[in-house]
Structures are given as C-alpha cells and as structure tokens.
C-alpha cells in the first residue's frame, strides 16, 4: 500500500501522520475523528478476510425463515400495542436526489398524489399510532448533505402524533490517494472535502448522538431500519412478534432474486454463522456463479430489524468491524478515496441473527424515474400512506421498464407524460429518443417505442399499445 511519493513510508507512519492531520480539523467531533482513524487503520492493515468459497453453505430455513411460517401475532389490540411500544422506526435519509435531477434530500421527491416519501412514512406511522394507541417514534439519519433541508421539512409534521428525531451520521474527510492526507487539510474546506461513510455508520452514530440511550430509557427494544426510498418497507407486526419471541438480536429481510437483482448481496452460512456476501467479496472466477439465481436465490432488501441493547453492547465494545468498501472518486482532478461500510454486513456480530424471506412487496425502492413510473401508475393505490398493489395484476413480478436519458430527471419525466399510462397488463416497456405520451394511454405485453434521431414522437391520447414496436407515427 506504499504510495508513489515515498515508497518506504510504513503503515504506522502513515496513520500517525493522518492522525496528526485529522486532529487539526475542527469541523468534526472527537468521536468522528476516532471512528475515521480506526476505519483507515483497519483498511491499511489489510485485515479484509478473504471468503473461502468452498466453505460457503446455503442457509437452512432456521437461519433464513420463510415469511409464511411466522406465527400470526395476537389479534388483541392491547397485546399489539405492547409489541409496537417496543419499536422505533429509523429511515436512512442521507441520500440526495441528484441521480433523478433533484436538489435536496431524496426523501422529498413527490411519489404519488402530491405526497413525498417522507409524507408517506409519517402518514403510515401516524395511522399505526392511532389504530393501536401506541407511540412508535420516527428517527431520520441524515448526512451533512441532507441535514439542513430535512430540519426545515420536519417542521411541517409538528402537529402529528409522532415523536420525530433527527440525527446526523458521521462526516469523514476524503483521503487524497497520492499522499494519504485528508482532503480538507489541503484547502478543500467545502462539502467536497467530506463524505458520509455509508449506512454501516448507523450504529455508532445512533450511539454518539445520544438517541440510543434516550430510546433505551423509553423502554424501546427494537429498531426497524430501512432506506427512505423503499416504499415497501412498512412496519410488520408479524416480524416484530417473531423477533421478540425468539430473542433474535438482528434480522435482515431478504426476498427472492430476479434477473434485475443479480448484483444484490445475499445471505450465506459461513463457519457456523449467518453472513452477508456482497459481490465485491466474490473472487473473479465465481462472479457468474454469484449472479446465478439458481445457487443464490435471495438478496438483501436492506430492511433490517436490530435489538437496541445489542447495538449498545457491540458499539461500546468496538466489535462492529464490518467489511470495508473502498470507493475511489475524483474531486477537481484529485484522486481521492472514501472508505465505507454497510449495515447489512453487521449481521455476523449479533447473537441469534436471522434472515426472513419476505414477499417481494416489501421491496419497492425508487432509484430512478422508471421506478417512479411503476408507483405512480394504476399498478398501485394509496391507502393510509401505504402503497398497495393492484390485485388485478396476476403476474407477481412488476413490468420491466427502461426509459432513455430524456426521462432521467424527474422534471423531464413528468413533462413527457400527460398522464401515467395504464400498465396492469404490461410485461416490458423500452423507450428511447424524444418520445412524448398523451393522456389515457394503455400499455400491454411487450412494448418498445423508439424515436429516430432528431424526430419528436408523440403517442396520442387514449392509444392502446399491445405487443408493439413503435418506430414512428406510421406504427401507431
């Protein structure tokens, strides 16, 4: 790992120099400095454990529990209230909507009927608290990128029946690859000098912010962690009941892989423990095997249920040494390195950790405008903040949708549809070029729409396209 500048710098010298540089950065706390140095030290010491492929075993139903074998929780309202009063919901809210052309937190993109992700999350928890008379709080883990905007947005929920807490995940300095110094100490004082170190940071940040002690003092036992853009990640009393009864300290929701999810991390049994296997850990010669949906049939939805006391115990013992994900970037022509961790990788440190193989409906992320098209269409309806799938669709899989770069930004996407087409009977849609949709359009089967270069192609109001290739107005 020696740098080109000075091939004889030892790892210890490198860390000592970095520690001295970081000590001078006054924008971050002592906890953040210590966490950062610890992460870099682990990375430089090369402690990444190689997975021995031959030792990988497929987890049994005891380790990855089929959802339909979970016992039905008590019907009694008081019993359900008792369960829910042990729960906290935490949404990972550190991401910006830049991929979709939005400024500010991704969670404030409008999803449906004028409601944002955050609105829907708040409405869901409000209706739970109202129905059962419980008090499930909502926590938002922001990053320094989303903190200020989120604080303003949260004010509009001040009259709701939910306790809303926000806290920030750590802020770490990007490392200049050439000489392993922190980028901010080279005069990059703005946001570009820093990065949030992945959602694996949720555990130490929850503790450092004081929120963990507060929740434990309120008698809370479990936190349900999910991405704020996953509309399927709603509170499930059946899962909570199972974890409390079986004293599982950690549960990862997994769901059957389709060809769209081949890169997703999967659960394996390894040396007697359940463990997350990510594509980055897979030796090159086994990548195709990893992507096959025959051998590795499930993937991580990043819906996680974790015991709060166990988090406290492991964070204080500094035992959560998750696999490090090196993320090389470039800032103004300078090559930098970000070291990150993922929350799912923590599974192997908790006692009685399990996976639960949940229905696909619990995984409905909106990563791109093609996903937005699905959730805004007649494939779903909105009830009490919950996005409910249309029973008229017989195929359990959602249609596959590919939209060209003209649709990438939310504003452009919305401008190109007078109304969202009916897609209940659609298998796949591929759109490329300068295509505009009228209102009341129905798409069925396999539909491909291609506008030739320099030509504006308008699909008229009320058009019904079934198993069609449209290359110009003559095909309509």
Q: Which residues are part of a known binding site?
A: 106, 169, 198-199, 229, 367
Annotated binding residues for substrate, written as ranges, equal 199
The 10 Å Cβ neighbour count of residue 272 is 7
Identify the DSSP state of 323. Answer: P
Annotated binding residues for UTP, written as ranges, equal 106, 169, 198, 229, 367
The CA distance from 106 to 97, in Å, is: 4
Question: By C-alpha distance, which of 448, 441, 447, 446 is closest to 464?
Answer: 441
Instruction: Count the alpha carbons within 13 Å of 181 in the hemisphere toward its beta carbon.
Output: 15
Quick one: tokens of 470? 């449209």
The CA distance from 177 to 173, in Å, is: 12
- Grouping H, G, I as helix, E, B as strand and the rest as coil, residue 131 is helix
Sign for the CA dihedral angle at 299, 304, 305, 311 comes to: positive
Strand 222-227 with 334-340, pairing? unpaired
Sign for the CA dihedral angle at 287, 293, 295, 300 comes to: positive
Are 308 and 229 spatial neighbours (Cβ–Cβ below 8 Å)? no
Residue reference for tokens 């807490």: 165
Are 243 and 305 spatial neighbours (Cβ–Cβ below 8 Å)? yes
User: 429 pairs with which residues across the strands?
Assistant: 401, 447
Alpha-carbon dihedral 220, 222, 227, 229, rounded to 10 degrees? -60
* CB within 8 Å of 387: residues ≥ 6 apart: 111, 112, 120, 231, 232, 364, 375, 380, 381
The 10 Å Cβ neighbour count of residue 385 is 18
Q: Give the distance between the most distant pair of CA atoms in the chain.
A: 71
The CA distance from 52 to 31, in Å, is: 34
């Amino acid at each position: 790992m020696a740098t080109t500048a000075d091939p004889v710098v030892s790892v210890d010298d490198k860390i000592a120099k970095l520690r001295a540089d970081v000590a001078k950065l006054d924008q971050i706390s002592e906890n953040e400095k210590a966490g950062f140095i610890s992460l870099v030290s682990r990375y430089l010491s090369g402690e990444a454990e190689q997975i021995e492929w031959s030792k990988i075993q497929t987890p049994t139903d005891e380790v990855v529990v089929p959802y339909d074998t979970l016992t039905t929780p008590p019907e009694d309202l008081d019993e359900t209230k008792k369960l829910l009063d042990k729960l906290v919901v935490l949404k990972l809210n550190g991401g910006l909507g830049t991929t979709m052309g939005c400024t500010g937190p991704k969670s404030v993109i409008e999803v449906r009927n004028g409601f944002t992700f955050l609105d829907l999350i708040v409405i869901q928890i409000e209706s739970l608290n109202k129905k059962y008379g419980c008090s499930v709080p909502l926590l938002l883990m922001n990053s320094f990128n989303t903190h200020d905007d989120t604080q303003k947005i949260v004010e509009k929920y001040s009259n709701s029946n939910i306790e809303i807490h926000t806290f920030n995940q750590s802020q770490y300095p990007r490392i200049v690859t050439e000489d392993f110094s922190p980028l901010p100490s080279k005069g990059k004082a703005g946001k570009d000098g820093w990065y949030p170190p992945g959602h694996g940071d949720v555990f130490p940040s929850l503790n450092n912010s004081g929120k963990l002690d507060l929740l434990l003092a309120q008698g809370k036992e479990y936190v349900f962690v999910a991405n704020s853009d996953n509309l399927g990640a709603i509170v499930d009393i059946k899962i909570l009941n199972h974890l409390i009864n079986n004293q599982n300290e950690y549960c990862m929701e997994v769901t059957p892989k389709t060809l769209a999810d081949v890169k997703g991390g999967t659960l394996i049994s390894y040396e007697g423990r359940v463990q997350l296997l990510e594509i980055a850990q897979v030796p090159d010669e086994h990548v195709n095997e990893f992507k096959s949906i025959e051998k590795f049939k499930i993937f991580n939805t990043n819906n996680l249920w974790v015991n709060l006391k166990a988090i406290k115990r492991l964070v204080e013992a500094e035992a959560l040494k998750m696999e490090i994900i090196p993320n090389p970037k470039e800032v103004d022509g300078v090559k930098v390195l970000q070291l990150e961790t993922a929350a799912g990788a923590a599974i192997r440190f908790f006692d009685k950790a399990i996976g639960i193989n949940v229905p696909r409906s619990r995984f409905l992320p909106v990563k791109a405008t093609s996903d937005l098209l699905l959730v805004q269409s007649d494939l779903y309806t909105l009830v009490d903040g919950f996005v409910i799938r249309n029973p008229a669709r017989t195929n359990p899989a959602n249609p596959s949708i590919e939209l060209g770069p003209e649709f990438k930004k939310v504003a452009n996407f919305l401008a190109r549809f007078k109304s969202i087409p009916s897609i209940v009977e659609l298998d796949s849609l591929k759109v490329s070029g300068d295509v505009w949709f009228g209102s009341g359009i129905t798409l069925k089967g396999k539909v491909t729409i291609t506008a030739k270069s320099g030509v504006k192609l308008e699909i008229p109001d009320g058009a019904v396209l079934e198993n069609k290739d449209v290359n110009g107005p003559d095909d309509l």
